[in-house]
Amino acid sequence: MNTKKIVITGGPGTGKSSIIQELQKKGYSCLEEISRQVTLDARENGVEHMFLTQPLLFSEHLLKGRESQFHEANTILKPFVFIDRGVHDVLAYMDFIGDVYPESFKNVCNSLAYDHIFILKPWKEIYKSDAVRYESFEQALEIHECLVKTYEGFNYTLIDVPFDTVENRASYILNEIQSL
């Protein structure tokens, strides 16, 4: 079985994780966002804000983790699996902060192909900062633009998910998949 890999992406605080949790409740296979875990692991090793202080190292950890998720998705014997962010998100965030990254990052993105990309726009009414989410709402808007530019630069067609309840957004994604 060729499992379709469906990415749900967007800037911070757009509702991605809530939609992933809703899809899981509905019985769909999902792979959750890993950046919070990378951040918490770094803190346990004495690095308080790895993304801010060592962005390349942080991004290397993310890229490896998301690459592993891609391969894990291939082992799921279901018609499709939802993934909270793809490997391309790493490049978009590096572009956002204006940092350089090795060509190997692009090579990973070129070697892994997702089937569909759903993107969530920043939504001021639900946006919240927390101990792991450093970005302001204005920065979330900039990150969104970097995500669009990055995915489109790799020839993906992005499917916008409208603002709505978590349940309706999950239903929208499921309905779109049926029509693709």
Condensed to tens digits (0 to 9), the pLDDT of residues 104-115 reads 999 999 999 999
- Per residue in 149-173, pLDDT (tens digit) is 999 999 999 999 999 999 999 999 9
Residue 134 has pLDDT above 80, yes or no: no
- The pLDDT of residue 133 is 61
**77-116 burial, b if ≥16 CB within 10 A, otherwise e?**
eeebbbbbbbbbbbbbbbbbeeeebeeebeebbeebebbb
* Cβ 67 vs Cβ 15: under 8 Å: no
Domains of the chain: 4-179 (3.40.50.300)
3-state DSSP call for residue 64? helix
pLDDT at 38: 80
Instruction: With a cut of 90, say whether residue 129 has pLDDT above it.
Output: no
| Beta strand pairing call for 4-10 and 116-120 | parallel
Q: What's the pLDDT score for residue 132? A: 56
